[in-house]
């Protein structure tokens, strides 16, 4: 039975921390128009960094004034379809990845914005947004090749563990950094060639000693000192992909005046390149299909963190948990 009302998490004000910005509100379940479908969300991906930056008003490419909806990717079940929708029927499992579509119990959207998926599982949820970003980042912005040295930072996290496996599948030697023994074990199991637990080993020393020719491609998620170390250890014609800077999300962005790194890049013909998924959206459908295929054939393992977050009320704790560096794999909330 379809509920008459549902709840969603919104940012009611701009605030430095996620918890102070948000509120749960009730809304009417809107029946779909002819071209729309109504979805009951079952799982949503938690993107603690993006969520926090949005609530602080620090995501420059979206200019949002509160109140605004939160959450991005979700997976759910179609519960009603508009009269002219032929591609979906009630009961279909679907994925969506739109800003504002994640942290809510129901969504009524244009059918074109949903994608049919084989099953509503947290593993597929992980792939349709985080996994796609990791792969498009590596392949398109990072220009990943094979037989190179690829380094993934925060490799035990949601994006990192997919990037690490993808780089390995492409035939590269892969280094992964993480901050716990449990994540180090996981990365080894997933085939990472050199795991560096940065709490036990000095990343710069390891790279200098074991990779004197440098790293060809860095998938960098962490920022601050980790970013500096990665720049210093780039190989000739090395590429560093700025995928994120999670170490900065819990606090205000550290102000570094005039960080002129051209001398570090020029003499190696190396480069540093930012990556933002919405600016590479044309690659999403093809990459999503490839990822789901790899999952179903068993060559890609998707790790969903074992901490259980249930309902909208659990989202602030999930965001804190992720930004505290505790998660292993993707953090997911269940409705
Ligand atoms: N560019 C894009 O379009 C795009 C899309 C999606 C996500 N992202 C970015 O990808 C990165 C990973 O996102 P995710 O959602 O998959 O998160 P995640 O990697 O699952 O979780 C964050 C991880 O970062 C690591 N970390 C390292 N240093 C940290 C520090 N000082 N403080 C907190 N955590 C630290 C922690 O693991 P260890 O300490 O064990 O390393 C933690 O588990 C983020 O930077 C995110 O913004 C970018």
Query: Do 11 and 70 form a contact (C-beta atoms < 8 A)?
Result: yes
- Between the CA of 244 and the centroid of ligand 1 the distance, in Å, is 7
- Between the CA of 320 and the centroid of ligand 1 the distance, in Å, is 12
Round to whole Å and give the CA distance between 294 and 132: 12
Q: Flag whether pLDDT at 40 surpasses 80.
A: yes
Round to whole Å and give the CA distance between 92 and 305: 26
Six token digits for residue 297: 């054939």
Round to whole Å and give the CA distance between 242 and 234: 13
Query: Do 216 and 147 form a contact (C-beta atoms < 8 A)?
Result: no
Quickly state the pLDDT bin for 209 (edges 50, 70, 90).
very high
Quickly state the pLDDT bin for 303 (edges 50, 70, 90).
very high
Pocket test for ligand 1, best of 159, 224, 250, 251 (most atoms within 8 A of CB): 159
Query: Do 19 and 117 form a contact (C-beta atoms < 8 A)?
Result: no
Mean predicted lDDT score pLDDT of the chain? 96
DSSP assignment of 184-237: HHHHHHTT-SEEEETTTS-HHHHHHHH-TT-EEEEEE-S-HHHHHHHHHTEEEE
Contacts of 106 (CB under 8 A, 6+ apart): 3, 6, 29, 38, 39, 40, 41, 79
Q: Flag whether pLDDT at 272 surpasses 80.
A: yes
Quickly state the pLDDT bin for 258 (edges 50, 70, 90).
confident
Query: What does DSSP say about strands 73-81 and 93-97: parallel, antiparallel, or unpaired?
Result: antiparallel
Closest residue (by CA) to atom 46 of ligand 1? 244
Q: Flag whether pLDDT at 228 surpasses 90.
A: yes
Six token digits for residue 302: 């998707």
Quickly state the pLDDT bin for 328 (edges 50, 70, 90).
very high
Round to whole Å and give the CA distance between 160 and 167: 10
Domains (range + CATH), the chain: 5-120+303-334 (3.90.180.10), 128-278 (3.40.50.720)
Ligand 1: residues whose CB is within 6 Å? 47, 49-50, 130, 133, 154, 156-160, 177-180, 183, 221-222, 243-247, 275-277, 322-323, 325, 327
pLDDT in tens, 79-136: 999 999 999 999 999 999 999 999 999 999 999 999 999 999 999 999 999 999 999 9
Closest residue (by CA) to atom 32 of ligand 1? 247
pLDDT in tens, 285-296: 999 999 999 999
């Amino acid at each position: 039975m379809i509920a008459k009302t549902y709840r969603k998490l919104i940012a009611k004000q701009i605030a430095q921390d996620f918890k102070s910005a948000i509120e749960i509100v009730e809304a009417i379940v809107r029946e779909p128009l002819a071209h729309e479908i109504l979805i009951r969300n079952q799982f949503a991906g938690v993107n603690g960094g993006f969520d926090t930056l949005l609530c602080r008003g620090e995501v420059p490419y979206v200019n949002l004034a509160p109140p605004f909806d939160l959450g991005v990717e979700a997976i759910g079940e179609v519960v009603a379809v508009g009269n002219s929708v032929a591609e979906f029927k009630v009961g279909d499992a679907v994925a969506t990845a739109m800003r504002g579509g994640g942290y809510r119990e129901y969504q009524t959207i244009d059918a074109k914005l949903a994608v049919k998926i084989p099953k509503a599982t947290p593993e597929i949820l992980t792939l349709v947004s985080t996994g796609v970003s990791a792969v498009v980042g590596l392949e398109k912005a990072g220009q990943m090749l094979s037989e190179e040295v690829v380094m993934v930072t925060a490799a035990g996290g949601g994006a990192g563990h997919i990037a690490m496996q993808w780089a390995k599948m492409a035939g590269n030697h892969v280094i992964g950094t993480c901050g716990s023994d449990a994540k180090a074990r996981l990365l080894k199991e997933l085939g990472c060639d050199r795991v560096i637990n940065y709490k036990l080993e000095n990343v710069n020393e390891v790279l200098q000693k074991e990779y004197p020719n440098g790293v060809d491609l860095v998938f960098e998620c962490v920022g601050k000192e980790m970013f500096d170390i990665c720049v210093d250890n780039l190989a000739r014609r090395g590429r560093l992909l700025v995928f994120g800077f999670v170490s900065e999300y819990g606090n205000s962005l550290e102000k570094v005046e005039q960080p002129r790194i051209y001398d570090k890049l020029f003499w190696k013909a190396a480069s540093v390149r930012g990556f933002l998924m919405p600016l590479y959206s044309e690659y999403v459908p093809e990459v999503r299909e490839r990822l789901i295929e790899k999952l179903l054939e068993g060559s890609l393992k998707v790790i969903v963190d074992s901490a259980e977050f249930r309902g909208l009320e659990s989202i602030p704790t999930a965001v804190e948990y992720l930004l505290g560096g505790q998660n292993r794999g993707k953090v997911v909330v269940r409705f």
